[in-house]
Amino acid sequence: MTLTKTTNRSMTSFFPKLFLYSGIFSGLCLLTSCTSLDTLVVNVEKPAQITLPNHIDNIVIVDNTMPQPEDIGHAEYIKGKRTNSQISVNADSVNYILAANLFDELADKEYFDDVIFYDEPIRENGDFRDIFPLDTTIAKEICIANKADAIISIDRFLVSTISNEDDFEFGTTIKYLDVKMDVRFQVYSNKGTAISPPFYLNDSIYWVATYSEDIPLSDTIPSREQAMKVAAQYMAEKVATALAPYWSSELRWYFGDVKAANKMVSNSDWSGALSLWKSAYEKETKNIKKKARLANNIALAYELSDELKEALRWITISCDLFEKTEETTVDTANLIRATEYKDDLIIRYNDFRLLDMRDKDSN
């Protein structure tokens, strides 16, 4: 059986290429002047960690793993010392949960035209730690049957759980549960050949809770079995992020030298704010620090209009001016802030090019 979900990629065209505005927050008053520093949060679109050929629009997800044995990967500690307890955790469904949630995550991202989950295990025997490349014939057959351009093969998924229990204050007990995950996957073409190197991801999730005679005084710790299922869902998000563009929250700021522009910013009128900031920059001939602040604002307006080359040009001007006029701790902070912003813009520019390349080739 296969699960399939068709996505409508054209829906993403309703949003800006790089940014969705999450909100504007009132800023901080600079100690040495009455100029405010206001911040806003933007969601930045980041390219996938794995660059796939542009013709790959329909993909199939397969589970090419073996289940982890119940008695491997688990330990118990009490007061920092490992016990001799033999711990068994049923992990039969964990690999399936990882693959199924990866299907949901990728389909919801609407990056591929069609995402399909091949709902049958590929392997039937072997050690769960061993990795077997996807058989060429099987890969071809699956792609033909599902009209897919490529296969995402989950080749190994390892999970370990470690608990610890220790005395706490006032006769209470504090308990911990640490879950570590390791996943390996690879992408194959519809010809059965690998089109990406093997990709490895590892991470961990941590729970802590306080108990009084086994009665929880805070959030409870899940069972090991439930924690492993949560870990599988979490790693599915990580794998999806590696395969498709994702959104990341970033902090930006602007200086409130021009009150009329501040009102336009509150309405996301970046074109209007840009016009006022550039006019103020050209008129300012004496206050170099103010020109540096305005250049920073101009760079921001250009960035939020997706004109990243101009944004880089103006933040470079801002950095140069801040450096020339650095005198106080506020000036130093502004220079550091502008320099870090310039570095971010360089990354944004390269990311934008990667995102734009696939969009152009897909049209």
How far apart are alpha carbons 273 and 287 in whole angstroms?
Answer: 20
Residues of the chain with pLDDT under 50: 1-33, 359-363
> What is the model's pLDDT at position 13?
24
How far apart are alpha carbons 296 and 291 in whole angstroms?
Answer: 9
Dihedrals φ, ψ of 225, to 5°?
-65, -45
- DSSP three-state, residue 314: helix
Domains and CATH numbers, the chain: 18-46+247-362 (1.25.40.10), 58-244 (3.30.160)
> What is the model's pLDDT at position 280?
96
How far apart are alpha carbons 139 and 126 in whole angstroms?
Answer: 19
Tell me, what DSSP letter sits at residue 69? P
- Residue 97: CB atoms within 10 Å: 19
What single-letter amino acid sits at 205? Answer: I
Picking from 270, 260, 259, 243, the residue whose alpha carbon sits closest to that of residue 19 is: 270
Q: Is the dihedral of CA 217, 223, 228, 234 positive or negative?
A: negative
Which residues are paired to 158 by β-bridges?
182
> What is the model's pLDDT at position 352?
77
Contact 36, 29 (CB under 8 A): yes
What single-letter amino acid sits at 245? Answer: P
Q: What is the pTM of this model?
A: 0.70
How far apart are alpha carbons 56 and 114 in whole angstroms?
Answer: 10
Dihedrals φ, ψ of 87, to 5°?
-105, 130
